[in-house]
Amino acid sequence: MKTSSPKPTDPPRGLVCPRCECRHFEVVKISHAVGYVRRRRACRHCGHRITTTERIVGGGSPRPKGLPVDPI
């Protein structure tokens, strides 16, 4: 069973370099697409590169009309 309670021993949220475990990244490239943004990041310490994809919530694509906003 998984619990969602935060613990201080949990790994830090956000980006952590899998090689050197640092959290200092610089964005080397940003690709915009429909509904999401893809960022190419490079670790400042070891140069390891990773790609992150962030979904755009709200504002990216208009909500289809006719759907209930609060289904309560």
- The site map against Zn ion for 26-65 (x = CB under 5 A) is -----------------x-xx-x-----------------
DSSP labels, 18-70 = TTT----EEEEEEEEETTEEEEEEEETTT--EEEEEEE--SSSSPPPTTS-SS
Does 24 bind Zn ion (CB under 5 A)? Our answer is: no
Question: Least separation, in Å, of the C-beta of 18 and Zn ion?
Answer: 8
Return residues touching Zn ion (CB under 5 A): 17, 19-20, 43, 45-46, 48
